[in-house]
Structure 1
Amino acid sequence: MGGALVFWVGILVCGLCAGALFTFKSMADPTLWRTCAILSLSCCYLMWAVTYLAQLHPIIVPKRDDLRIDL
């Protein structure tokens, strides 16, 4: 699992956003519901992708402080 996972999940989220365009046609205010669904999906995806990529490629490499010498 690497950076390609972010790409595939992005395609999945785009598909869900496209599905949201057709799902909320019979609601009282379809534009509001569509906007909420698409914004929620895109914001959740962006937060997940940034967190995932930050853990995958950290800017500062962690250093160990408790290096022990085993005899």
Structure 2
Amino acid sequence: MSRVCELTGKRAMVGNNVSHAMNRTKRKFNVNLIKKRFYLPEQEEWITLKISTSALKTINKIGITAAIKEAKSKGLLK
């Protein structure tokens, strides 16, 4: 599985390491992902999602059901 947040769709970005002499080499900025289990009371089941920590803050704010509904409307979840 790739390094992509299942709720927000965040992916790794590409940039440069820049030395003091202004030499540039390619590098990757990976997403801060965690694997987290959530309980869905409507379906009475547990689901495991690979999400970014910023998505976790959003879930804590609006709730897991609203976050999943928003991700489905954007076409990120099935």
Return the TM-score normalized by structure 2: 0.24
TM-score (norm 1): 0.25
Q: Rg larger in 1 or in 2?
A: 1
RCO greater where, 1 or 2, for CA within 8 Å and sep 6 or more? 1
